Amino acid sequence: MSGLHKSEDLGNQTLQPSSSALQTPQLLTSKSADNVVNSGETDCDCACPNAPFTITTTNLLDTTFSTWPETYTVSLRQGYQLAFSPFAPAGPSVLNPAAWQRYQTFHQQAQPLKETIDHELVQQNLLIPTGHQPQIQPTAPDQLTAWLHVTNACNLDCPYCYVRKSSAHMSLETGLETVDNLFTAACRQGFSRIKLKYAGGEATLHFSLVQTLHERAMALAQKTGLELREVVLSNGVTLTSTMLNWFESTQVRLMVSLDGLGAVHDRQRPRKGGGASFEQVMHTLENLVQPRQIDLHLSVTVTGASAPYLADLVQWILDHNWPFSLNFYRQTPLSADRQDFELEQQIIIEGMQAAYRVIEQTIDQATVQNLPSRPLVNGLLDKVQSQAHTHTCGVGQTYAVVTHTGQVAQCQMHLDQPISDHLDAHQLLPTLAHGPIQNLSVQEKPECQTCTYRYRCTGGCPVETFRVTGRWDVKSPNCTIYQTLYPELLRLEGLRLLKCHGY
């Protein structure tokens, strides 16, 4: 059985107390699996939101509880069932037969909370106070994220890139001033963490600047008490042993773009002036990165041209046990003539499904020690995240892009549309909020209100939606893709959770 459960779906299932009466009800979640493996953090070239919400309910002691009608359920194996509420705090839950039987009783009749498992089901919002609509209460974000556009220069000529290439790069003075102002802004606004993304172009073409900015950021983090996270975005072509020694010693994350194997990658990521880049990237990853203890993350851009070959790439990545994300191509003014890159629904769905089958085979064959080390609903379906949130990204709120000249933009897709000529530490957040991009809450998108997955995809990338529809308040043009694939991703995470716990 799978799908959104209706009264007849659960009500018609025969309870089998003999098979579960001796069992202690157990509920598995991604959080419970953290005792087995670390969940990790996914990375891409966007800024995912870090402001989850809480659900307010009535007094738990004075009310009865029922199941929520929009909950998605699917059978797994050995009698275990997956359940996912739209209001789940972080990913799906897996119920053993005894827990599933107890959950069904609330579907048949509203009742007070009596058993330990009842409270666990409430924590995952699988049980809701009867007659009450859950109320969303946003929580304050704790991280300020900034894209530092080190340079426009690049040694590749990717046809979907949004950067107009030139030799221009950020000066040391501009870079240091930017880092100083970002820390000041973060402290003034009460953030506890700051994340810096060194990007381009190819940021490693000015690696000494990246190193100097990192040193300033480390000093300021120690002085202010802010937690610091950093990532360098790279195409992997010019990485040297010296650079990789630095990544290993500092544990700054290295994100490398990899779009396919062999010709598939070369088609999307050719060298400047022509020529292949895959062999060099593969050599760097296998011979220079793999032997070192580097915080590596691979970012895969999925296009209509690469989707049919995606499963082969995913298998190769899994064989090396590298974390990765799958991100959908977004058309830019520079790629408007590349019709082969467009996200034709069936091609993308079939390509992603083939990749998911490879992941499922890996889970089946894995031991607890070599399982994928983070929730599979993070990063494996474009910008969809496991943690419940209301905005697709931090644009307009907690995300700033600083150009090589020190100007401020809302998004790297809008590098040539700055909203301020300089970064004012005292006015950064108001400046970001009043730019042209309207990153609306999913609650302001009427078409999304009945979708079980609305607090995961949140209506998709606002820039892409506006490009296609001319509106900010409508669902993503990729909605069908998300709705088709997200249930499959939930199932994969359920299988991972079972394996994590030895089932």
Q: Give the residue numbers spanning the domain of 483.
A: 437-487
Q: Flag whether pLDDT at 341 surpasses 50.
A: yes
Residue 334 included in any domain: no
Res 13 pLDDT > 50: no
Same domain, 97 and 130: yes
DSSP H helices, 139-297, are 172-188, 207-224, 241-250, 263-268, 278-283
pLDDT for res 37:
36
User: Exposed, middle or buried by CB within 10 Å (0-12, 13-18, 19+), for 286?
Assistant: exposed
149 and 127 part of one domain: no
Give, in order, the Cα–Cα distances in Å from 473 to each of 1, 86, 185, 267, 481: 34, 20, 30, 35, 19
Instruction: Give the model's pLDDT for residue 199.
Output: 98
- Is position 343 within any domain? no
Q: Look up residue 145 and give its DSSP letter.
A: E
Q: Is residue 322 part of a domain?
A: no
Interatomic CA distance for residues 362 and 358, integer angstroms: 6
Q: Name the one residue in this structure whose structure tokens are 């049980």.
A: 127
Whether residues 34 and 89 fall in one domain? yes
Q: What is the pLDDT of residues 409-421, one digit of tens each?
A: 999 999 999 999 9
C-alpha span between 154 and 133 (Å, rounded): 51
Over range 209-219, report the average pLDDT. Answer: 98
Provide the pLDDT confidence category of residue 370 given band limits of 50, 70 and 90.
confident
State whether 34 and 110 are in the same domain.
yes
148 with 171, same domain: the answer is yes
Q: What is the rounded average pLDDT of the residues 119-147?
A: 90
> What is the C-alpha to C-alpha distance for residues 157 and 163, in angstroms, rounded to an integer?
10
Q: Is 155 domain-assigned?
A: yes
Tokens in use for 103? 């959950």
Percent over 70 (pLDDT), the chain: 89
Say if 112 falls within a structural domain: yes
Q: Is 153 helix (H, G, I), strand (E, B) or coil?
A: coil
Domain boundary among 136, 159, 190: 136
Residue 281 is given by DSSP the state: H
Please indicate whether residue 135 or residue 415 has the higher confidence score (pLDDT): 415
Say if 312 falls within a structural domain. Answer: no
| Domain-embedded: residue 450 | yes
Could you tell me the strand order of the sheet in which 143-149 lies?
A: 324-328, 296-302, 253-257, 227-234, 193-199, 143-149, 399-402, 408-409
Q: Say if residue 42 is in the same domain as residue 132.
A: yes
Res. 47: pLDDT tops 90: no
Contact 113, 152 (CB under 8 A): no
pLDDT grade, residue 222 (50/70/90)? Answer: very high
Cα–Cα dist 174/428, whole Å: 16
pLDDT of residue 57: 59
Report the alpha-carbon distance of residue 5 to residue 72 in Å, rounded: 6
If you average pLDDT over residues 5-14, what whole number do you get? 42
Residue with tokens 């790629």: 335
Same domain, 194 and 153: yes
Q: pLDDT for 249-292, tens place per residue?
A: 999 999 999 999 999 999 999 999 999 999 999 999 999 999 99
Beta 296-302 vs 324-328: how paired, if at all?
A: parallel
Specify whether 92 is located in the same domain as 61. yes
For the cut 70, the answer to whether the pLDDT of residue 440 exceeds it is yes
pLDDT in tens, 298-336: 999 999 999 999 999 999 999 999 999 999 999 988 899
The answer on 132 and 60 residing in a single domain is yes
38 pLDDT band, cuts 50/70/90, is very low
How many separate domains does the chain show? 3
Q: What's the pLDDT score for residue 9?
A: 47
Indicate if 409 and 473 belong to the same structural domain: no
Mean pLDDT of 162-174: 96
pLDDT surpassing 50 at residue 35: no
Sheet harboring 72-75: ordered strands across?
2-4, 72-75, 81-84, 93-95, 27-29
Q: Is 274 left (phi over 0), alpha (psi -120 to 50) or beta?
A: left
> Around Cβ 447, how many Cβ atoms within 10 Å?
14
Q: What does DSSP assign to residue 271?
A: B
Same-domain check for residues 43 and 75 = yes
Domain's final residue, options 136, 154, 174: 136
Q: Among the three residues 436, 453, 470, which one is the final residue of a domain in this structure?
A: 436
Query: Are both 38 and 125 inside the same structural domain?
Result: yes
Model pLDDT, residue 59: 59
pLDDT level of residue 21 (50, 70, 90 thresholds): very low
The answer as to whether 221 is a domain residue is yes
Mean pLDDT of the chain: 90
